[in-house]
Amino acid sequence: MERHVRFVNRGATLLGVLFTPDDVGRVRDTGLVFLHGWAGYRIGPHQMFTKMARRACAMGFPSLAFDFRGRGDSEGDALKASISTMITDAQRAARTLVEETGVRRVALVGVCSGGEVALGAGATIPECDAMVLWSVPQVAADRSHADRAKRAAILREYWSKLFRAATWRKLVSGALNFGMIGKAIARGGKGEGEESAPDDERIDWRRRFIEFRGEVLYVYGSNDPTTPDCIAHYARLSKEAGRTFKHHVIEGANHSFYSLKWEAEVLDESLRWLDERYPRPADPAPLGSGPVPSRAPA
């Protein structure tokens, strides 16, 4: 079953979709909260959150996908949002999932900036003991090298477009948006307002990472220019935290997994890992299948 839910956090009403399994006898004690990226909303990139939530629900995981403040159908000003406000939204969303479904444990599923939110929120949510993070940027680190790699990839992409007929047709027709191109290059692919807010700078990211005692699965695409830096960074940080570093790299995939093949691998790997971590409830014994009581001697 899918239904809209609304909950309030710091004066803003946030809207989400709650996915609950039909077979109440097979519901797991763990639910999923989906955290979209900076410029996205609750369905995730090319509806990956909706697709995964439906599959997870069929596997017995209640799930909640919601819009952060100022995005999608939630209230608030997107330009006043920050990673810090998104963290408080995620905390409230996890509480809503627990209250609505009665799950005892929560796993956060985040993509890109939503993965940062998960890393900032996980240790502060008592029920959270797992995260699945897709293309999460580095936290508690100097990102300058990864940012330069991302900007270089954007420049290469725009350079390659110079030699495409479609680009010249847009130029002749006046449809080419030079302002958008300039902003993409100048910001290195970051959305407006995505640069760290003062509140974000005060977060002790390393401490929050280490204080989280659950498990984390990292998923990256091999064609994402930030992947090598991110994998090396999280391998080091996980070792420091005493946590096994679990990751999966999808060959040829870009940052947002824009291919049906890549998308399927992301969902399959994420759900396989969750299924192994949170076993299904045992099937109830059929009526009359218990041991036959011994008969007292006559």
Q: If you ran DSSP here, which 8-state letter would residue 191 be given?
A: P
Q: How many residues does the chain have?
A: 298
Q: Which residues contact 104 (CB under 8 A, 6 or more apart)?
A: 29, 30, 98, 127
Question: Mean pLDDT, consecutive 10-residue segments, the chain of 298 residues?
Answer: 96 97 87 96 97 97 97 93 96 98 97 97 97 94 55 51 64 62 52 63 93 97 95 96 97 96 98 95 56 43
Q: Name the 3-class secondary structure at 117.
A: helix
* Confidence at residue 295, expressed as pLDDT on a 0 to 100 scale: 42
* Confidence at residue 283, expressed as pLDDT on a 0 to 100 scale: 59
d(CA 139, CA 123): 14
Please state, in angstroms and as integers, the Cα–Cα distance from residue 113 to each residue in 42, 126, 186, following that order: 13, 22, 19
- Can you name the residues that pair with 131 across neighbouring β-strands? 108, 216
* Confidence at residue 293, expressed as pLDDT on a 0 to 100 scale: 46
d(CA 181, CA 192): 13
Quickly list DSSP for 28-43. -SEEEEEE--TT--TT
* Confidence at residue 207, expressed as pLDDT on a 0 to 100 scale: 95
Q: Which of 10, 6, 24, 12 shows the shortest CA–CA distance to 99?
A: 6
* Confidence at residue 177, expressed as pLDDT on a 0 to 100 scale: 62
Q: Which CATH entry fits the domain spanning 2-143+196-277: 3.90.1010.10, 2.40.50.140, 3.40.50.720, 3.40.50.1820? A: 3.40.50.1820
Are 119 and 140 in contact, with CB atoms under 8 Å apart? no
* Confidence at residue 289, expressed as pLDDT on a 0 to 100 scale: 47
d(CA 263, CA 44): 12
Q: Residues 116, 224, 38, CA angle at the centre, nearest 5°?
A: 35
Which parts of 23-143 fold into alpha helices (H)? Answer: 48-58, 83-101, 113-121
* Confidence at residue 294, expressed as pLDDT on a 0 to 100 scale: 43
Q: Which residues contact 21 (CB under 8 A, 6 or more apart)?
A: 27, 57, 58, 60, 61, 62
φ and ψ of 115, to 5 deg:
-70, -40
Are 110 and 77 in contact, with CB atoms under 8 Å apart? no
| CA contacts within 13 A on the Cβ side of 185 | 10
* Confidence at residue 202, expressed as pLDDT on a 0 to 100 scale: 86
Q: Burial of 291 by CB count in 10 Å (0-12 exposed, 13-18 middle, 19+ buried)? A: exposed
φ and ψ of 33, to 5 deg:
-120, 125
* Confidence at residue 248, expressed as pLDDT on a 0 to 100 scale: 98
